[in-house]
């Protein structure tokens, strides 16, 4: 009897060995590198690529920081309630960015984890159960900064970040626990083989999405990043890439406003609801500043109109929304010369609430940042690259 059992066990083991392809045995998930971290593809250590130096990363512009993660070519974002693969409730931030956008964290002990199959936090056993053995993955079913990813044990391993059009950059070497210090950045470029549909069902537009978990020390954040070919960026301009003249100059610049500044005349055409309008406008440190009363006059009669008042006792400018401007048209300067600008020292109130605006006085008139007014009174401010012009649309909300 014992001999029969022994023969049966030997036969079963032989069949098991024959059932495993040679690749699986040759490329097992085993071994560790110099840092003591797992080498996922034995015999193919060359694909365990280190990220490029952060100093070589593309410059980031039109930026927005969300939960400690900065996105470039930022368009918009929203939060939603969701669940991960284990049905645990999580908050997911959906972020829309343009092509060649980047996401970056400067927090020590940071790591990005991209889940290409299934939902957040799925592991191989959950993927196998849901999608079948053909999608068996590595232990966390995620692609990290320099960890290759196996779709299953029988396919050749690849540089999967590159396969998904992601470039990785890091400031320092990897920590023993696989995290990164000093700065970690992923940049998304277009996959020429993919054509999707952007919101609004515009055929032919490009859109891909990435489910990315960001670990910053003990902090965990979930992002669904949509990379599109849209260009209606709304993030803040970065100072070193901001030209003196707008291109587009209507976006805010992340610099502290100076008390004294040089105002360059804005030469770009200005359209309000598709009608070309003359304004006295200046560019100061990369932002467009418009004469406050000129804007109020131009918007009179629209749904975004506002009144301008003055309180001499309080030395305060008062703005009242949804109220028609009562003043008269002033003279629009046609001078193309630069002027001196001084920070307005008056308090500014909107509907009785004090606001912190950046405003300048030029030749005794108050000039306000156009985007501040757009955000306050909810009209859209844009840049038409085709006509190189500033656009104001009172039928659309501020973005």
Q: Do both 376 and 298 map to the same domain?
A: yes
Nearest to 321 by CA among 351, 279, 276, 282: 351
Residue for token pair 């949804």: 322
User: DSSP readout, 26-72?
Assistant: HT-S--B-TTS-B-SSTT-GGGSPPPEEGGGSPPP-SBEEETTEEES
Round to whole Å and give the CA distance between 137 and 307: 62
Q: Does pLDDT of 140 surpass 60?
A: no
Q: Do both 66 and 121 map to the same domain?
A: yes
Determine, yes or no, domain membership for 10: no
Q: Do both 303 and 358 map to the same domain?
A: yes
Q: How many domains does the chain have?
A: 2
| Listed residues 186, 205, 228: the one ending a domain | 228
Determine, yes or no, domain membership for 181: yes
Determine, yes or no, domain membership for 269: yes
Summary mean pLDDT of the chain: 76
Q: Do both 251 and 219 map to the same domain?
A: no
Q: Are 115 and 211 in contact (CB under 8 A)?
A: yes
Determine, yes or no, domain membership for 14: no
Q: Using the Cα atoms of residue 291, residue 296, residue 297 and residue 298 in order, give the sign of their dihedral.
A: positive
| Listed residues 170, 196, 228: the one ending a domain | 228
Determine, yes or no, domain membership for 217: yes
The model carries a pTM of 0.50
pLDDT in tens, 37-54: 555 555 555 555 678 898
Round to whole Å and give the CA distance between 335 and 263: 12
Nearest to 358 by CA among 267, 265, 254: 254
Range of the domain at 105: 48-228
Q: Do both 215 and 249 map to the same domain?
A: no
Q: Do both 208 and 121 map to the same domain?
A: yes
Lowest mean pLDDT among 106-115, 187-196, 358-367: 187-196
pLDDT in tens, 117-134: 768 887 766 656 665 555
Q: Do both 224 and 273 map to the same domain?
A: no
Q: Are 268 and 390 in contact (CB under 8 A)?
A: yes
Q: Does pLDDT of 8 surpass 90?
A: no
pLDDT in tens, 65-100: 999 999 999 999 999 999 888 889 999 999 999 999
Determine, yes or no, domain membership for 40: no
pLDDT in tens, 251-284: 444 444 557 888 888 878 888 988 888 888 888 8
Q: Do both 330 and 197 map to the same domain?
A: no
| Listed residues 171, 197, 228: the one ending a domain | 228
Lowest mean pLDDT among 24-28, 124-128, 146-150: 24-28
Q: Do both 67 and 132 map to the same domain?
A: yes
Give the 3-state secondary structure of residue 233.
Answer: coil
Determine, yes or no, domain membership for 58: yes
Give the 3-state secondary structure of residue 13.
Answer: helix
Determine, yes or no, domain membership for 302: yes
Round to whole Å and give the CA distance between 47 and 194: 24
Q: Using the Cα atoms of residue 60, residue 65, residue 69 and residue 72 in order, give the sign of their dihedral.
A: negative
Q: How confident is the model at residue 154 (pLDDT cuts 50, 70, 90)?
A: very low
Q: Do both 216 and 281 map to the same domain?
A: no
Q: Do both 317 and 174 map to the same domain?
A: no
Q: Do both 85 and 128 map to the same domain?
A: yes
> Residue 25: which H helix or E strand, with range?
helix 22-26
Nearest to 321 by CA among 297, 346, 304, 301: 304
């Amino acid at each position: 009897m014992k001999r029969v059992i022994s023969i049966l066990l030997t036969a079963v083991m032989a069949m098991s060995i024959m059932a495993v392809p040679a690749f699986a045995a040759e490329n097992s998930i085993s071994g560790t590198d110099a840092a003591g971290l797992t080498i996922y593809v034995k015999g193919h250590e060359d694909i365990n690529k280190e990220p490029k130096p952060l100093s070589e990363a593309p410059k980031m512009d039109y930026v927005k920081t969300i939960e400690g993660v900065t996105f470039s070519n930022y368009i918009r974002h929203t939060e939603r309630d969701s669940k991960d693969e284990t049905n645990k409730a999580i908050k997911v931030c959906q972020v829309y960015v343009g092509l060649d956008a980047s996401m970056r964290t400067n927090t020590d002990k940071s790591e990005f984890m991209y889940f290409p199959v299934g939902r957040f936090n799925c592991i191989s056993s959950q993927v196998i159960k849901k999608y079948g053995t053909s999608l068996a993955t590595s232990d966390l079913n995620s692609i990290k900064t320099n960890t290759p990813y196996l779709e299953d044990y029988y396919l050749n391993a690849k540089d999967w970040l590159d396969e998904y059009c992601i470039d990785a950059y890091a400031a320092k070497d990897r920590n023993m626990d696989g995290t990164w210090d000093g700065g970690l950045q992923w940049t998304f470029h277009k996959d020429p083989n993919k054509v999707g549909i952007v919101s609004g069902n515009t055929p032919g537009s490009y859109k891909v999405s990435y489910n990315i978990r960001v670990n910053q020390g003990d902090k965990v954040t979930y992002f669904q990043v949509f990379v599109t070919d849209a260009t209606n960026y709304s993030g803040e301009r970065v100072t070193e890439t901001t030209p003196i003249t707008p291109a587009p100059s209507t976006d805010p610049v992340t610099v502290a406003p100076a008390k004294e500044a040089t105002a360059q005349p804005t030469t770009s055409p200005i359209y309000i609801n598709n009608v070309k309008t003359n304004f006295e406008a200046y560019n100061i440190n990369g932002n467009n500043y418009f004469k406050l009363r000129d804007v109020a006059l131009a918007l009179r009669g629209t749904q975004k109109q506002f009144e301008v008042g003055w309180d001499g006792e309080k030395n305060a400018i008062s703005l009242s929304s949804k109220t028609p401007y009562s003043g008269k048209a002033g003279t629009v300067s046609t001078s193309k010369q630069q002027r001196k600008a001084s920070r307005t020292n008056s308090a500014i109130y909107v509907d009785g609430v004090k606001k912190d605006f950046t405003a300048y006085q030029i030749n005794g008139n108050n000039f306000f940042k156009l985007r501040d007014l757009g955000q306050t009174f909810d009209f859209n401010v844009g840049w038409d690259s085709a006509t190189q012009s500033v656009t104001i649309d009172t039928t659309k909300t501020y973005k």
